[in-house]
Amino acid sequence: MIRRNKRQRTQRRIIVVIILLLFSTGFLFYPVLNKRIEAKRVDPIPSSLEQIEADIREIQLPSADTEIYLDLVNKTHPLPADYVPSDLTEVAAVAPGVTCTQLRTPAAEAFAQLLNAAAFDGYTLVLRSGYRSYETQQKLFDGYVKKDGQNAAEQYSAPPGCSEHQMGLAVDVTSPSVNYKLKRNFGSTAEGSWLAENAHRFGFIIRYLDGKQDITGYIYEPWHIRYVGIQPATEIYRQNITLEEYLAQQP
């Protein structure tokens, strides 16, 4: 009887020791396991929009190079007739039937990211017009003069050599909501509002603002955006000023 009791006590002691060993082992490994779990929890999975913004930051040029994209082209600062950008590239997302489908490479890459961000938010935007040569601009302007007269044409169309489109940095943007046309009411559409509020994030500005015709020389064009780089575009957007006004502020 005594032996049996001793055997039972011994067995119980063994069981207790095993239980204690299991608990101690569990506590030893718990921090490691927990660390792995926490690592998985905090490891962010970038969303499409986050990836888009990361991509655009990667292609953003150094500030010294960004100055190249701040060149002023307007009625008093024309380009030579033979000026053609050396780094033109095709833009994939274009309106049906358009032919001016190129931009300078930095602008084209930034524009692609802008379109992706718009699509992520549920909006469809496409290029209506990109780079236009001096000769192409001459034909367009002459046609507008024939239709509406010289003075009227100069309010909404640039004479040859005076168009930002010849720079390869300007984009006329449109959407299905306006039948892929360039209409003033584009500014009041959901797509136009999104463009006005977000273009600067990708280095673009609304070039011809409402109420700024005396400065820019052109009536309000909510579809016309110009690539200047993210930092200048953000400052221009925050101040709600034109490129001319921004450049006048620079030392």
Write a three-state SS string for 133-158.
CHHHHHHHHHHHHHHHCHHHHHHHCC
Residue 164 is among the residues annotated as catalytic for this protein: no
Can you tell me the distance from the alpha carbon of 182 to that of 164, in angstroms, rounded to the nearest whole number?
17
Catalytic residue among 221, 235, 244, 245: 221
Can you tell me the distance from the alpha carbon of 203 to that of 145, in angstroms, rounded to the nearest whole number?
33
Catalytic residues: 221
